[in-house]
Amino acid sequence: MSDQRKFFVGGNWKMNGDKAGIDAIISFMKGPLSPNTEVAVGCPQCYLMYTREHLPENIGVAAQNCYKVSKGAFTGEISPAMIKDLGCKWVILGHSERRNVFNESDQLISEKVGHALEAGLKVIACIGEKLEEREGNRTEEVVFAQMKALLPNISDWSRVVIAYEPVWAIGTGKTASPEQAQDVHAKLRQWLRDNVNAQVADSTRIIYGGSVTPANCQELAKTGDIDGFLVGGASLKPDFVQIINARD
């Protein structure tokens, strides 16, 4: 991992939690956490303000989604401006569940990323292939197409973290081996070199998501192109601190 890429660990709570549960998470998130890791947690939108007000300031808070415009007749959606108004600086976009459960297209996700960046948020942009795509040797084709769709709308790469999440490894207990994950991360970095520029390729953090646990996080963290993790269920438990500290 390059010295210019600070290790990044995001927790994605998904549709889980209540105030009592969040209080428990806040309790263990007091650490100690590695000063060498940047940390952000993605919480349900109704708890964004509660979480931001109660978590230590050095931990970022992310919305799990947002829409592509600042306001309007879009019932049930939230905008980057609203997220910022609550004191939160991050948003997760393009998560596989948004793509595959809610049928969000590459184009819509790209437009959301573009607007979130324009509004001043930092973005965790998720990409990844399904099991049948992996088994059909289409991993590169799929993730490169997802990256290509994002490209026109990314105005500031310094505020983007790419999360590679093989869909077949999310919440399944299956984890890409360190070799499998590193291979895709290295190819994504080369894609950035070829399609954006060398500086972006060297500085953009590419994190891994997919059944990351305290048992496998250190081995994954040792590879050259895995710059951190996006963690689902494990981020609700005290063991999350071990994942945050995986490189110490």
For residue 98, being part of any structural domain is answered with yes
Main-chain phi, psi angles of 91, to 5 degrees: -145, 140
CB-based burial, 12-37: b 16+ in 10 Å, e otherwise: bbbeebeeeebeebbeebeeebbeeb
For residue 185, being part of any structural domain is answered with yes
What's the average model confidence in pLDDT over 106-115? 98
CB-based burial, 210-229: b 16+ in 10 Å, e otherwise: bbbbbebbeebbebebbbbb
For residue 1, being part of any structural domain is answered with no
CATH value at residue 124: 3.20.20.70
Q: What percent of the chain has pLDDT over 70?
A: 99
For residue 24, the SS3 value is helix
Q: What is the pTM of this model?
A: 0.96
The DSSP string of 85-154 is HTT--EEEES-HHHHHTS---HHHHHHHHHHHHHTT-EEEEEE---HHHHHTT-HHHHHHHHHHHHGGG-
For residue 188, being part of any structural domain is answered with yes
For residue 103, being part of any structural domain is answered with yes
Question: Is the Cβ–Cβ distance between 94 and 125 less than 8 Å?
Answer: yes
Q: Count the Cβ atoms, other than its own, within 10 Å of residue 115.
A: 20
How many folded domains does the chain comprise? Answer: 1
Write out pLDDT tens, residues 120-173: 999 999 999 999 999 999 999 999 999 999 999 999 999 999 999 999 887 777
For residue 73, being part of any structural domain is answered with yes
Q: Count the Cβ atoms, other than its own, within 10 Å of residue 135.
A: 11
- pLDDT-derived band at 2 (thresholds 50, 70, 90) equals low
| Catalytic sites, residue numbers | 95, 165
Give the angle subtended at the CA of 227 by the CAs of 223 and 232, to the nearest 5°.
105
Write out pLDDT tens, residues 173-219: 777 889 999 999 999 999 999 999 999 999 999 999 988 999 999 99
- Range of 226's domain? 7-244
For residue 87, being part of any structural domain is answered with yes
Q: Count the Cβ atoms, other than its own, within 10 Å of residue 5.
A: 17
For residue 2, being part of any structural domain is answered with no
CA–CA gap between residue 139 and residue 145 (Å, rounded): 10
- pLDDT-derived band at 31 (thresholds 50, 70, 90) equals confident
* Average pLDDT value for the chain: 95
